[in-house]
Amino acid sequence: MRSDQMKKGITRAPHRSLFKAMGYTDEELNRPIIGIASSANEVIPGHVHLDKVVEAVKAGIRMAGGTPMTFGTIGICDGIAMGHQGMKYSLGSRELIADSVEVMAMAYPFDGIVLVPNCDKIIPGMLMAAARLNIPAIVVSGGPMLVGECCGQTIDLITVFEAVGRVSTGEFTEADLKPYEDAACPGAGSCSGMFTANSMNALTEALGMALPGNGTIPAVMAARLRLAKASGMRIVRLVENGITPDKILTKSAFLNAVTVDMAFGGSTNTALHLPAIAHEAGVSLPLDTFQEISGKTPHLCNMSPGGPHHIQDLDGAGGIYALMNLLNEHGLIDGAALSVTGRPVSEELPKHPVLDTNVIRPFDAPYHATGGLAVLKGNLAPNGSVVKQSAVDPSMRRHKGPARVFNSEEDAVDAILGGKIDKGDVIVIRYEGPRGGPGMREMLSPTSAIAGMGLDKDVALLTDGRFSGGTRGASIGHISPEAAQGGPIAIVQEGDEIEIDIDNKRLSLLVSEEEIAARLKDWTPPEPKIKTGYMARYARMVTSADTGAVFEG
């Protein structure tokens, strides 16, 4: 066993002595040792209950004959970090999480590892570590939050963000806002729509790195703890059978995941995280692949923020494996791909029929003929940009308007809430990319303000930063190259005409190529916004959004 490096033989007597100081017995040390990377903490609602999930995982490991050993990782709640300096650190935390799991699993040569995340960057960070380590691994998340109820309607976190915009227009008072604030997030779990956290938890199933139900069983359900126990038992079997991530995280697995992503209309952040995980697995997953798969995959689930359904509804409809079963029946899933069940997914999918065709539409009656995301290119985004087209009003799929240019998110939000944006405008927020931000902040505040003010059918927003999975409207992010690298977005001027054509996958600055070249020649890079500490180092090492914002080298 891999763990023999730290426990077997005469020379390891001091090591065993240290383990015994923690209460481990000889019998426990003779068993397979399973590390549990837990991001439990008291600063993220999706993680505040993970200690209970971890205890269930430990019970499963012991039932299967293994010995669990838990360690912690950091985690950031994007909702709480949103709109201030904290959001600059969110994407960067993904690399720290991957590194920290790698460091622990190399310093302690576990025989296998269970990854227990639940939100945003923590999930892909742990998956990146699993691919890098290539020891038997399984993911079990904390599960989604239930929806809130207020004023006779179903609500979620995005309702509150958009209600802030309604306050700014005078439609709501602060007193009107309070009941929404109190009811939108009723308890533990990742926020209840198909935002980034739930998109990634669902795609972990599609990749084959988690058991069925990982992405959809609500956090408060006993089924979540049973899943955790099953995952604990399963990791011991993966160790016994030598099933490592390189056997699961194949090209087919990533193509399956992108297909599922398009079918359920996931967060645009998946176009950052899946390529980053693929990079660690030695698999090429260019941005163009997302567009190729989107073009042939129907959009079958209309989830919040673009639609009325939430993750608990998808769970009741059969979950991710039911959606995959439907896609598999129409030849869009590679059923030979292996999963942590130890079997090809084709053997598991038939056990999961669609139970509610209102939530998972029939293949011949999709919400949209093509997938939830679209990749736009053009002279404003030579390397690509990403939009959640399933959440764009049909009237905004083609739009032309004057640029309103801002060099930070804060300046844009002030202008929006100050009533300085007119119908037809194209808001450009730049120097918010991976390097320029630094950290490629999510921008739920400006998009929610636009939606809350009723402008989402009239105003577009473009950025080299990114958007929350809760964003709706003509919000186009990940524009690459970013402004800080001298991308064309850096030289857009106030009043320039910009044309958006989602149907033809184009994003164009209506300025002559000669003028663009002249402006770029005169452009000089700005001073870094953060000059010391981790994010200063991050800015020097990070690559463009179209590559997954991974580190160079």
Higher pLDDT, 145 or 161: 145
Write down the mean pLDDT value for the chain: 96
| Residue 187: CB atoms within 10 Å | 13
* CA distances for 141 relative to 49, 223, 352, 466, angstroms: 11, 12, 20, 24
Once rounded to an integer, what is the mean pLDDT over residues 18-34? 98
Return the structure tokens found at 299. Answer: 């959009």
Active-site residue (options: 93, 190, 267, 468): 468
pLDDT for 472: 80
Q: Is 190 a catalytic residue?
A: no
**Residues 450-467 as b or e (16 or more Cβ within 10 Å = b):** bbbbebbbbbbbbbbbbb
Beta 112-116 vs 148-150: how paired, if at all? unpaired
Query: Can you point out the beta strands (E) in 73-206?
Result: 112-116, 137-139, 148-150, 153-155
Q: Is the pLDDT of residue 470 over 80?
A: no
Task: Give the lowest-confidence range in 181-195, 344-358, 436-450.
Answer: 436-450
Return the structure tokens found at 185. Answer: 């997030």
Whether the CB-CB separation of 430 and 483 falls below 8 Å is answered with: yes
pLDDT for 49: 98
Task: Give the lowest-confidence range in 15-29, 145-159, 245-259, 329-343.
Answer: 145-159
Rg, C-alpha atoms of the chain: 23
Q: Is the pLDDT of residue 394 over 90?
A: yes
Q: Is the pLDDT of residue 553 over 80?
A: no
Q: For the whole model, what pTM was predicted?
A: 0.95
Whether the CB-CB separation of 494 and 453 falls below 8 Å is answered with: no
Once rounded to an integer, what is the mean pLDDT over residues 159-183? 90
